[in-house]
Structure 1
Amino acid sequence: MHGLYTPNHHSEAAVHMSTLLGDPRIRRGGIKSYQSTNAEGVERSRMHLWVSSPGRTVMELAPFASLDELVVLVDQLVREPRPNLDRRFDPFVPLPKWKVMVESFHGRGVRKLREATGLARVGSDSPPETRLRLAIMRWGLPEPDLQIELPIRGLGNPSADLGYKRLLIAVHYDGGTHRSREQQQRDNRRDNAFSGEGWRNLHCNSKDLADGFRETCTRLERMIHEQRQRLRLN
């Protein structure tokens, strides 16, 4: 309902609904009923239903999601939307406000939620980008910069999903939308713009995602070493 990418490996088809503690439980087929001690973080949806806010939804998913799934969810909460794509101008929850919310949360999964919040960053535009960043960090490589823009007159601002500004490395995750001819043409112009400024481009896709980005991290590690040698950086 909020447009969040939620974990899709849960096969249960029941709708999860809550009532306030003291009110009757909902007993009906296809509904899994809970009782809550407060109504904080509940809002009315466009369909005129009372639903958990995006922030509360992520908190309620904490017991059921893995750590990486929670990082994906928190990244979505705090990311800066793109008005031409998202139909909104502000994050669901700004990161500083989210951290305060998590500190005051004491429900199930709180430790995992706090760990996920510590790993969350503003700038991951999709779940694969989050998982790529986590894989890079767990490989022992430096934490990458996110949403790197390359201001070039006449070309707008070509951008890379992540990479290293100091090392002139741009990393791109090519999702399903990159298969169209028009998008491939835009990608080629972007890559040429980065190459023209002395950057190196590294691409990965859904096959790399399924592999846990191991080959990507191996290639990136070699590229970092080569760029440090070329640029004579420590």
Structure 2
Amino acid sequence: MRSPSRLPADLVSRVSFTTGDAAQHGVGHRRLAASDIVAPFHGVRSAQDAPPLASAYQVRLAEGQCFSHTTAALLLGCPLPRRLERDPRVHVSSVGKWRGPRTRGVVGHELSSRCTKVIEVDGLPVTDAPTTWRHLAGMLSVDELIAVGDYLVSPRGSYGDLPALTEDEALQRSIERTPRLRGAARARDALVDVRAGARSPKETEARLMLCRAGLPEPVLNHPVVDEKGELIAEIDLAYPDDLLGVEYEGDSHRERERFRRDIRRIERLQDAGWHMIRLTSDDVDATLTTTASRDTVERIERRLRMSRT
């Protein structure tokens, strides 16, 4: 079987190109139907096996269009539930008078220019953090929305050394601007429990679990220093007056080097007088409907009681 002819370098170098672009380069429909070309959207082709869908669709974006809803959330790095992370569709919104796109693999929306702010993320037009969070209120549960809110208002980076994407007040204004948009009541309920400082959805879930059980609200990512003033660790959930720390251990903590670092870190915290309680996914449930979550709350409550008597 004859190998397909080589594509022009200009097309190969792109994430995607339109069939119109291909025609201008002298590439016909038969060549575009070859097995080394993928068609992520109608009228769009790519020489990559699995091009990022938002980037691939960019060549079809019209004036006044941007990525929104879950697509914007993923581009902003928001933690979404797996059912939405795996949704292959791209959400594209037209802002102002334009009609939302209607094509295979795309969910189109129309947004008011008065209630929408568009920013650039990795070269792509995306609804900003408050606008995106408000749209998600129609798609997520209250607890899922709190986790996204925590992410958006918290400093980013491994050590919290990057600024937050937004602030609580901006999320509040996004609700006030769109009181009739789907999920308004859910957004209001979620915002009450949004806190800056959480670095993972499970940390958020653990905090909600403790607070809903009637325990005091813990300090998030509390820094502990040694006698020389050097940082020992930042504790996920802390009760500083009681020298009690609660750490969530995700699967990434099983990695060899991290596992060893965690052991040294916990030992140094214990040397500094802290009692540490370590949790896994089995121990955390914000709804308090599992035996493990109730047992976890009892352990922490008992330790707090001991430190205060």
- 1:43 partner SS: strand
**Could you tell me how far 1:132 is from its partner in structure 2?**
0.3
Q: Distance in 2 between matches of 1:154 and 1:187?
A: 20
Structure 1 unmatched runs, 5+: 230-234
Paired letter, 2:167: P
RMSD: 2.3
Q: Percent identity?
A: 29
Give the structure 2 partner of residue 138 of structure 1: 212
Deviations 1:20-40 (A, max 9, x none): 353233121122222112262
| Aligned ranges 1:190-205 → 2 under 5 Å | 190-205=265-280
Q: Distance in 2 between matches of 1:154 and 1:139?
A: 35
**Could you tell me how far 1:155 is from its partner in structure 2?**
5.3
- 2:107 partner SS: strand
- Are positions 1:169 and 2:244 aligned together? yes
**Could you tell me how far 1:208 is from its partner in structure 2?**
1.9
- 2:192 partner SS: helix
- 1:149 partner SS: strand
**Aligned 8 A contact 1:20 1:35 in 2:** yes
**Aligned 8 A contact 2:133 2:171 in 1:** no
- 1:125 partner SS: coil
Q: Distance in 1 between matches of 2:259 and 2:230?
A: 16
Deviations 1:155-201 (A, max 9, x none): 53322101211111011001122112322222222222222232211
- 1:23 partner SS: coil
**Could you tell me how far 1:115 is from its partner in structure 2?**
1.7
Determine which of 235, 238, 242 is the counterpart of 1:160. Answer: 235
Give the structure 2 partner of residue 125 of structure 1: 199
Q: Distance in 2 between matches of 1:208 and 1:149?
A: 24
Paired letter, 1:150: V
Moved >4 Å (runs of 4+): none
**Aligned 8 A contact 2:213 2:297 in 1:** yes
Structure 2 unmatched runs, 5+: 1-74
Paired letter, 1:41: K
Deviations 1:45-100 (A, max 9, x none): 32x43221222111111011000000000000000123x568x7211003344334
Q: Which has the higher contact order (CA 8 A, sep 6+)?
A: 1
- Are positions 1:226 and 2:306 aligned together? yes
Paired letter, 1:112: R
Give the structure 1 partner of residue 56 of structure 2: none
Give the structure 2 partner of residue 43 of structure 1: 119
- Are positions 1:182 and 2:262 aligned together? no
| Aligned ranges 1:48-67 → 2 under 5 Å | 48-67=123-142
**Could you tell me how far 1:142 is from its partner in structure 2?**
1.0
Paired letter, 2:221: Q
More displaced, 162-171 or 105-114? 105-114
Q: Distance in 1 between matches of 2:270 and 2:121?
A: 46
- Are positions 1:9 and 2:71 aligned together? no
**Aligned 8 A contact 1:132 1:213 in 2:** no
Determine which of 78, 99, 104 is the counterpart of 2:177. Answer: 104
Normalising by the residue count of structure 2, what TM-score does the alignment of the two structures yield?
0.67
More displaced, 122-131 or 152-161? 152-161
Q: Distance in 1 between matches of 2:247 and 2:159?
A: 19
Give the structure 1 partner of residue 34 of structure 2: none
Paired letter, 2:164: P
Q: Distance in 1 between matches of 2:159 and 2:272?
A: 28
More displaced, 23-32 or 167-176? 23-32
Paired letter, 2:284: L
Give the structure 1 partner of residue 223 of structure 2: 149
- The 1:60–1:178 alpha-carbon spacing in structure 2 relative to 1, beyond 3 Å, is same
